[in-house]
Amino acid sequence: MTRLVCFDVDSTLLRVESLDFALSEKLGPAARERLEAITAAGMGGTMSLRASIAARLDLARLTRLDVARIAVALQQYLTPGMAELVAELKARGDKVAAVSGGFHDLLRLALRDLGFAEAMCRTNRFTWDGEAVSGFDPANPLSDNGGKAVVLRALSHAGEVRETVMVGDGITDLEAFEAGAAQRFIGFGGVVTRSSVAERAPEFADTVSDLRAALLA
């Protein structure tokens, strides 16, 4: 039986929050501050993830052109060392998955570059009104708190998995472990450290080197 290692994407595999990256250039300074506050509240657990996503999308209207352009730009924001770590895990026989509250159309190219098979990527999906983003699919479990646990269980049940490990920086990553969907959780602070996660995580990696040591020991 194999081990399943699931990675969060924003501020873990990537050095940015992908939706914020996409929105920020369309916003003025005051709105950018609001965007940062909303994201911090959602990632820290003081606002629900669904409310955080909806509030952020309400700040600016993304177009298909915006989304396609940002998807290319995000290829330059891979967290250094993560692609190599993913390759090492796959070489030793682990299954690797990317599980994110971010959006498929923004993340697909970066996740491909990191070495994730599309079948092992789970993300949110935009809804569209012609050429503009109108919102997101609320039926997707990743659009709200607790959704990562649902997705991890489905991934674990899809194959013979002896252990599921969740890696990430945010409260939704920790929640998946606390709900019993992963047997192990490693908090990651290599991009940003969220105190609400660091204080509760049974294991915590401050760098990719620390994460590599924890996963390959």
The tens digit of pLDDT for each residue in 30-50 reads: 999 999 999 989 888 899 989
CATH for 63: 3.40.50.1000
Q: Which of 2-11, 36-45, 75-84, 145-154 has the lowest mean pLDDT?
A: 36-45
What pLDDT digit, counting tens, does each position of 5-32 carry? Answer: 999 999 999 999 999 999 998 999 999 9
Nearest CA to 62 out of 31, 101, 21 is that of 21
Of 97 and 25, more confident: 97
- SS3 (DSSP) at 120: helix
Nearest CA to 176 out of 99, 96, 117 is that of 99
Burial of 90-124, coded b for 16+ CB within 10 Å and e otherwise, reads eeeebbbbbbbbbbbbbbbbbbeebbbeeebbbbb
Binning pLDDT at 50, 70 and 90, where does residue 81 land? very high
Q: Please state the domain count of the chain.
A: 1
Residue 100 has pLDDT above 80, yes or no: yes
Residue 161 has pLDDT above 80, yes or no: yes
Marked catalytic residue, from 10, 66, 94, 144: 10
20 is an active site residue: no
Residue 181 has pLDDT above 90, yes or no: yes
Nearest CA to 162 out of 89, 94, 92, 87 is that of 94
By residue range, what is the domain housing residue 99?
2-216
Percent of the chain with pLDDT strictly greater than 90: 94
Instruction: Provide the mean pLDDT of the chain.
Output: 95
10 is an active site residue: yes
Percent of the chain with pLDDT strictly greater than 70: 100
